[in-house]
Amino acid sequence: MILQNVLSPAEIQSVTDLIARVMDEKTEVLFREGRIANKYAELPVETRWAKICEMSPQQASGWNQEVFSQAVYELCTNSKLLNSCEQYLGPEITLNGDYWVRPKVPHEDLTTLPWHQDSFYYNGAENDNLSYRILSFWIPLVDVDERNGCMQVIPGSHKWGLIPYASLGNKRVPVEDVEARGEVITARMKKGDILIFNQLTLHRSLPNVSEGVRWSIDIRYTPTGQSFSWHELTGPGFEQRYSTLIVRSRCNPERVQDFNDWKTKKQ
Ligand SMILES: O=C(O)CCC(=O)C(=O)O
């Protein structure tokens, strides 16, 4: 489901400013190591990283640890997002620290994700049914459409259960032709809109054939108390890397954790 005009320009800008700072740091390192010849400091966030990646293709499709910050905390605990989340998950909400800033670079495969249910990457276990809930909020930081690699979703696919999948390189893809089974919706969105789906909704992002980077951030919530055994299945150290946080509690508001709590958990 797409909700329009949820976040204000200022709320989006604080994440864009964070990206600009992290990009500066990454660019400095690449320059010092002699992997790029130009820092393109004069370019805006939308195009600068594309130029850097032309000179030095990156290995990671998303940024997580490097963008851990007060700005991400503020976004994840934004009351408008939590109010929407509460409608689906109820009033006791835990942030799952598996959030990603995605620099979807033009004409590049690494950041183009084929059709998948997020559960493909959670190694089955108990997240393969709807009584288990992991809710994603996908938030574009630039306007998105078919040209710069917006998302597509198949509404209703979350009711299909975990569908069979196979590995393709480091990606996981459905075995069946999912487009023949459901209607594909192209999620054209403006800055400020949010796309909400769960771990069983089939989704993908289209290739970016524009000249700019399609920046977005996706964040995930679960009902407080739901087990994180699927986290453990993704490998040791998950809780340290992706520390979870109670972000809303109507029953015990004093349980809500702040940014310092999050920092402490990660140490
Ligand atoms: O941002 C993208 O291109 C893909 C994101 C995605 O698949 C997800 O958030 O689960």
Q: Which of 57, 59, 60, 78 is nearest to 15 (CA)?
A: 78
> Where residue 235 falls among pLDDT bands split at 50, 70, 90?
low
**Residue 231, pLDDT score:** 67
The atom of ligand 1 lying closest to the CA of 205 is 3
The atom of ligand 1 lying closest to the CA of 136 is 9
Backbone angles phi, psi at 32, to 5 degrees: -60, -40
Residue with CA nearest ligand 1 atom 2: 205
**Residue 129, pLDDT score:** 75
**Residue 159, pLDDT score:** 94
Region 10-28: what's the mean pLDDT? 97
Region 174-201: what's the mean pLDDT? 96
Q: Into how many domains does the chain fold?
A: 1
The atom of ligand 1 lying closest to the CA of 138 is 9
> Where residue 236 falls among pLDDT bands split at 50, 70, 90?
low
* Rounded distance from Cα 253 to ligand 1 centre (Å): 31
**Residue 16, pLDDT score:** 97
**Residue 130, pLDDT score:** 78
Calpha distance 160→8 (Å, rounded): 35
**Residue 125, pLDDT score:** 61
* Rounded distance from Cα 22 to ligand 1 centre (Å): 20
Which residues sit with their C-beta closer than 6 Å to ligand 1?
102, 104, 113, 118, 136, 138, 203, 205, 216, 218
pLDDT above 90 for 232? no
The atom of ligand 1 lying closest to the CA of 100 is 9
The atom of ligand 1 lying closest to the CA of 149 is 3
CB 104 within 8 A of CB 215: yes
CB 115 within 8 A of CB 202: yes
Give the pLDDT confidence of 69-106 residue by residue, as tens digits: 999 999 999 999 999 999 999 999 999 888 999 999 99
pLDDT above 80 for 183? yes
Name the residue of 205, 208, 215, 221 to mutate for ligand 1: max ligand atoms within 8 A of Cβ. 205
Q: Which of 194, 238, 227 is nearest to 94 (CA)?
A: 227
Give the pLDDT confidence of 147-178 residue by residue, as tens digits: 999 999 999 999 999 999 999 988 899 999 99
Region 3-12: what's the mean pLDDT? 98
**Residue 109, pLDDT score:** 84
Give the pLDDT confidence of 117-148 residue by residue, as tens digits: 999 988 656 767 777 899 999 999 999 999 99
Calpha distance 69→32 (Å, rounded): 25
Quote the mean pLDDT of the chain.
Answer: 92
**Residue 234, pLDDT score:** 62
Region 248-255: what's the mean pLDDT? 96
Residue with CA nearest ligand 1 atom 6: 204
* Rounded distance from Cα 207 to ligand 1 centre (Å): 12
* Rounded distance from Cα 204 to ligand 1 centre (Å): 7
pLDDT above 90 for 247? yes
Structural domain harbouring 22? 2-226+235-266
Distant-in-sequence, close-in-space partners of 57: CB < 8 Å, separation ≥ 6? 108, 110
**Residue 124, pLDDT score:** 58
CATH number at residue 64: 2.60.120.620
Region 40-54: what's the mean pLDDT? 94
* Rounded distance from Cα 149 to ligand 1 centre (Å): 10
**Residue 112, pLDDT score:** 87
pLDDT above 60 for 233? no
**DSSP secondary structure code for residue 255 in this structure:** G
Calpha distance 185→148 (Å, rounded): 16
Residue with CA nearest ligand 1 atom 8: 218
* Rounded distance from Cα 202 to ligand 1 centre (Å): 11
Name the residue of 134, 165, 193, 216 to mutate for ligand 1: max ligand atoms within 8 A of Cβ. 216
Residue with CA nearest ligand 1 atom 9: 218
